[in-house]
Structure 1
Amino acid sequence: MSVRHLFVTAVAAPAAQPTAAVAMSTGRLGASTAVLLGLVSIVIGGLALGRPDSRLGTASGLLGGGLAVATALLGTALGGVVVATSDGGVGTGNGLGGAVVAVAVGLVGVLLGGLAVLRARRQAA
């Protein structure tokens, strides 16, 4: 087989890319959004817990903790919706794996935000 034959064959019939690996399905988009919301809640909750007086103003422990809980609950709910509506299993491209991760990350965000709120209420009393 000559190099010219290989070149002509490669140009005439380009390799087809699988669509599932390139396309962003609604399940993947929902799971990715839910994971990002969960990660944002972890960052906000960690900042509110670690530095309660310096990030978001004077009431940042309570405000940051509440914001972390709210974003974590949104991420967890969105991840739960994707888990409930996914058709196939993990690895089929419908976002089930990411949604399960989103639920776990969201629960960690709720925990951190709740601890920040409890600490802020204890310091205020």
Structure 2
Amino acid sequence: MSVDHLLAVHLSLAVGGYDVGAGRTVPTVAAVLALAGAVVGGLALARPTGRLGPISRRAAAAVGLVLGLVGAVVGGLHAASSAGGLGTGNGLAGAVAAVVLGLVGTVLAGLALARSHRPVRPG
């Protein structure tokens, strides 16, 4: 057994004959980030008070916005560069899910961020 063989990093995880390779890992991570952005953005939008747990509503909305944008951009780039269609194992379904969830998260977080502005009192 050579040193190269011992040091090689194999990107697939064999689980019951199902390989999760690099083609599926990137869009899956992007979809999870986009889902987290949608959840955080939705929570920031739904909270009537100014705080969302240990962080402010505005900070939660900013985190949701960034996560949604990252998920949508990475998913879009992967979908644009993937060869083949759905079911070919290249992660196109995960990329499409990442784009959709990222856009939902971006919209929800953007609405929460817009609502978090304090009105300026004349005076």
Q: Give the TM-score taking structure 1 as reference length.
A: 0.75
Q: Quote the RMSD (CA, aligned, Å).
A: 2.1
Structure 1 portions without partners, runs of 5+: 1-18
Q: 1:72 aligns with which of 68, 72, 93?
A: 68
CA deviation profile, 1:86-115 (whole Å, cap 9, x unmatched)? 111111000011101110110000000000
- Greater fraction helix: 1
- Greater fraction strand: 2
Alignment of 1:49-88 (within 5 A): 49-51=45-47, 52-57=49-54, 60-88=56-84
Q: Which residue of 2 aligns with 1:3?
A: none
Q: Whose Rg is larger? A: 1
1:33 maps to a residue whose letter is V
Structure 2 portions without partners, runs of 5+: 1-14
Aligned residues: 105
Identity of aligned residues (%): 39
Q: Which residue of 2 aligns with 1:14?
A: none
Q: Give the TM-score taking structure 2 as reference length.
A: 0.77
CA deviation profile, 1:50-102 (whole Å, cap 9, x unmatched)? 124232457x2211111101000110111012112211111100001110111
